Amino acid sequence: MRTAREVYLDNYAASPLLPEARDAMLPFLGESFGNPSSLHGRGDAAREAVEEARSRVAALIGAAPEEIIFTCNGTEANNLAVKGITAGSRRKGRHIMVSAVEHFSVLHAARSLEKQGYELELVPVDEYGRIDLGALRSLMRDDTILVSVMLANGEVGTIQPVAEAACIAAERGVPFHTDAAAAAAHLPIDVESLGVQALTLSSDLLYGPQGVGALWVRRGLRVIPLLDGGVQEGGRRGGTENVAGIVGMGVAAELARERMTERSAHLRGLRDALIAGLPARVDHVHLTGHPVERLPWNASFVVEFIEGEGMLLLLDQQGVAVSSGSACTSRALKGSHVLTAMGVPPERAQGSILFSFGPQNTLQDVDYVLEVFPPIVERLRQMSPLYAKFLKERG
């Protein structure tokens, strides 16, 4: 269905590929084919391209290129970190800690270790989704072998106090991993000052191609590979590299560094316009996540008395693409674990809606949402038994 306007606000799920990244990739999908492991000229060209990308990705986070392991996405990088570091330190203990609001690729990787006999502790968060540093300190044990806390949560935008958390882990010599996928394009990262030992990146969240990610691992930290195969990636990740994808990620990482300030300022403007504008037009709408310590692109809310899928479908009919963390929109029909960990009651969490901005969005997009969204909320509320009850009780 064609609508008056197309407004894409689901950039956390996917965003337009940077043309610069696409242009750099194209030769490697055509005449410049080659396997970086080959010893002939074609192999050399592919290898050089991969190594250049590695340097660019390393530069984004202040790391050394040889500490970067390319993977096929952020999920693989998180799995490699959680499972690989744990396996590498299994003689030292069997206790692992991850925050309650991690991405599923950390949370479920940790759960799978739990099934294998490791002990898992979830670090609790406050109402804004920030981890409880006191709990982290008191729950840590002598046999803790891994702590993983994300740099920022994509679903509610909250930025975690990772440097402080990593410091607590460092006091006891426990390796600390952070999933920086949602944050890396918008928050300056320096692994030295952050004090972490491993860090996850995802190309698509840098506006690069899908299907590529990277794990940075500090030199000296043992990581057991998930994929056994050849000696690619320093023997830590077997399999022929996705050369075109890696090249695209390299360009995206370089542009992230160059454009970070300008991009973040732009996104922050859009985000703040929506965060100010929506509650001014619709009652009983609440921002989720931290009001200040939040990702520049994230405007997430819960809308009371209605459910997310309904909002999503009606917005789609107006040309606006968004996502929701409601139980009805999840394939498992379960409410968002992030909102649950933050103490949001289930019926409120059903009204979750996430607007994720990208560099291509404009203030006109925000105006359009502010124009079409309030009547949608009103329409769904007129249908809602919860709203009817609320009105009756209010009298």
Partner 1 sequence: MAQYSDVVMDHFTNPRNVGEIEDADGVGEVGNPVCGDMMTFYIKVDEEGRLAEVKYKTFGCGAAIAVSSMVSEMAKGKTIEEALKITRDGVAEELGGLPANKMHCSNLGADALHKAIEDYLEKKGKE
Residues that bind ligand FES (CB under 6 A): 327-328, 333
66 forms part of the interface with partner 1 (CB under 8 A): no
Residue 313 binding: pick among ligand FES, partner 1, none (C-beta 5-8 Å cut-off by kind): partner 1
Q: Are 178 and 199 in contact (CB under 8 A)?
A: yes
Minimum Å gap between C-beta 307 and ligand FES is: 7
Minimum Å gap between C-beta 153 and partner 1 is: 22
Q: What is the DSSP letter of 158?
A: B
Long-range contacts of 34-42 (CB under 8 A, 24+ apart): 34/243, 35/240, 36/232, 36/240, 36/241, 36/243, 37/230, 37/232, 37/240
358 forms part of the interface with partner 1 (CB under 8 A): no
383 forms part of the interface with partner 1 (CB under 8 A): yes
Element of type H or E holding 303 = strand 298-303
> Which member of 20, 119, 293, 309 binds partner 1 (CB under 8 A)?
309
318 forms part of the interface with partner 1 (CB under 8 A): no
List the catalytic residue out of 276, 313, 328, 391: 328
Q: Choose between 129 and 310: whose C-beta lies nearer to ligand FES.
A: 310
For the question of residue 72 being annotated catalytic, the response is no
- 198: Cα within 13 Å, side-chain hemisphere: 29
388 forms part of the interface with partner 1 (CB under 8 A): yes
Q: Residue for token digits 């560094």? A: 257
Judged by CB under 8 A, the number of residues near partner 1 is: 27
315: which 2 tokens? 């917005």
- 33 sits in the region (left: phi over 0; alpha: psi -120 to 50; else beta) called beta
> Which member of 13, 276, 328, 363 binds partner 1 (CB under 8 A)?
328
325 forms part of the interface with partner 1 (CB under 8 A): no
Distance (Å) of CA 16 to CA 41, 79, 182, 296, 344:
33, 26, 16, 18, 32
Phi, psi at 229, each rounded to 5°: 180, -135
Phi, psi at 122, each rounded to 5°: -95, 125
Q: Choose between 283 and 347: whose C-beta lies nearer to ligand FES.
A: 347
Q: Choose between 280 and 313: whose C-beta lies nearer to partner 1.
A: 313
329 forms part of the interface with partner 1 (CB under 8 A): yes
In the complex, the residues that contact partner 1 under the rule CB under 8 A are: 305-307, 309-310, 312-314, 316-317, 326-329, 331, 333-335, 346-347, 350, 382-386, 388
Tell me which residues are annotated as active site.
328
